[in-house]
Amino acid sequence: MTEVSEIPLHMRRAQFDPISELGEVRDSAGVCPVVTPFGVPAHLVSRYDDVREVLSDSARFSTADRRALTPPDAAGPTEEEYARARVGNLLSYDPPEHTRLRRMLTPEFTMRRMRALEPRIVDIVNAALDDVERAGKPADLVSTFALPVPSLVICELLGVPYADRADFQRRTADQLDASQPPQRRLALQQASRAYMATLVERARRDPGEDILGMLVREHGDDVSAEELVGIASLLLLAGHETTANMLGLGTLALLRHPDQLARVRDDPASVEPAVEELLRWLSIVHAGIPRTATTEVTIAGSTIAAGEHVVLALPGANRDPALVDDPDHLDITREPTGHVAFGHGLHHCLGAPLARLELRIAYPSLLRRFPGLALAVPYEQIAFRPYSVIHGLQALPVTW
C-alpha cells in the first residue's frame, strides 16, 4: 500500500478541500514538481489561467505519450502491454486520431438528446429512491443511490447488461485506486477490455439501439473492434465513477450546509447553479490525464522541456481567486463560473451534458423524497477515498 505521505500534492484533501499547500503553490510560483500516483515525475500547474492554457493547447501538450503514465524504470508491464490497453481510449489520442473517434460520439450527447433522455432518468432516480425507502433506514447512500443511478443510466445508454454491475464496478474502482500496484491495475484494465470485447462482438452480430449498436451500424467500417472496446470501456468507467462520486460527495456537502440544502430542495431555479457550484467546489477529478510537452514551453515563468510531463491541478484552478471571489466558500447562489471540473480543450468531458442532467435530477429528487435527510453517524466518521484518482466517499450512512 502507498503511505499517506506519498499521495501527490494535487490528490491530497482535507475532506472536501484541496490541502492548503496547493493554494500556497498557486499563490507563489504557480508551478511545482510532483510525482504522479503512477510514479512519473512531472510539473504541477495550479492556476486557473495556466491550467486552461495547457489544456487548450493540444499541439504543445500531448496526451498520446505513454511515458506520462509509466514510471521510467518500471519492472512492471511493458510498453506494448500498456499500448494495447489504451487502443480506442479517447484520452490517449491527439488530433487528428482523437477527432475521428470523438466525432463518432458527439451526436449521442447533444442537449437535444439529453432532453429526450430526461424522463427515463427521472424514472431511474425514482425507482432507486423507492428501493432506498423500502429497505429502510439507516442506509448507505453511496451503494444504494449514488452508484446505482449513474451505473444504470450508462448501462442502458451503452448497451451493457446492468446485471454485470458488481463485477465492472469493482474493477473500475480498483483501476482508479493509485494504491494498487501497476501490474494489478493493468490486469484489471485487461479484464475490463476482455469483458467489453464480448459485448462488442455481440453488437457486431446484432446491433441494438444503444451507443454500441449505433457505432457498429454507422461506423462499423471505420472503427476496429479493438477501438470499439476502448471507447466503450472508457464510457462505462467515466459514466459511473464520476457522477456517482459527485452524487455522494455533493449530498454530504449539502448536508454540511443546511441552508443551501434547503434551497436545492425547495427552489427549482436554484438547482442548475447549485450543480455548477458543487462541480467547481468539489472538483472531484484531481487532475485530468497528464500531458507531455512536445516542445520547450514556459508556464508561469517555469521552463518545461520537451518530453517532460505536466499535471493539471483542477481543484487548484477551480479554487483560484482569479476565477471567483471567496473561492473556498461553497455558495450555490453564485452566477455559474467557467470552472474546469470537466476539463478544458479537446478532451473536455464528452459526457458533461449527461452528468449535469443526472445531477440536476438526482439531488432535488433525493432531498424532496427525504426532507429529514441526515447523517446516521458523526461527520468525523465519514470515510473519504484517499487514494482514488477521483475524489469521493467510501460510504455515506444516512437516516431520515
Binding-site ranges for other proteins (CB under 8 A): 55-56, 102-103, 105-112, 338, 342-346, 348-350, 352-353, 356
d(CA 249, CA 255) in angstroms, rounded, equals 10
Q: How far is the CB of 214 from other proteins (least distance, A)?
A: 12
Q: How far is the CB of 45 from other proteins (least distance, A)?
A: 17
Specify the residue, 106 or 298, whose C-beta has the smaller distance to other proteins.
Answer: 106
Quick check: helix, strand or coil at residue 106? helix
Specify the residue, 111 or 135, whose C-beta has the smaller distance to other proteins.
Answer: 111
> What residues does 4 pair with on adjacent strands?
none
Q: How far is the CB of 111 from other proteins (least distance, A)?
A: 5
> What residues does 41 pair with on adjacent strands?
35
d(CA 8, CA 42) in angstroms, rounded, equals 11
- How big is the chain, counted in residues? 400
Rg value, the chain, Cα = 21
Specify the residue, 90 or 155, whose C-beta has the smaller distance to other proteins.
Answer: 90
Specify the residue, 110 or 295, whose C-beta has the smaller distance to other proteins.
Answer: 110
Q: How far is the CB of 106 from other proteins (least distance, A)?
A: 3
Specify the residue, 113 or 137, whose C-beta has the smaller distance to other proteins.
Answer: 113
| Complete DSSP assignment for 326-394 | STTS--TTSPPP---TT--STTS-TTHHHHHHHHHHHHHHHHHH-TT-EESS-GGGPPB-SSBSB--BS
Q: How far is the CB of 360 from other proteins (least distance, A)?
A: 11
- Name the amino acid, one letter, at 236: L
Tell which residue, 175, 174, 167, 133, has the closest CA to residue 151: 167
Q: How far is the CB of 129 from other proteins (least distance, A)?
A: 26
Q: How far is the CB of 379 from other proteins (least distance, A)?
A: 33
Q: How far is the CB of 353 from other proteins (least distance, A)?
A: 5
Specify the residue, 171 or 347, whose C-beta has the smaller distance to other proteins.
Answer: 347
| Complete DSSP assignment for 189-243 | HHHHHHHHHHHHHHHHHS--SSHHHHHHHHHTTTS-HHHHHHHHHHHHHHHHHHH
Specify the residue, 39 or 336, whose C-beta has the smaller distance to other proteins.
Answer: 336
- Asked if 78 and 41 touch (Cβ cutoff 8 Å), the reply is no
Residue 175: which H helix or E strand, with range? helix 165-175
Specify the residue, 114 or 225, whose C-beta has the smaller distance to other proteins.
Answer: 114
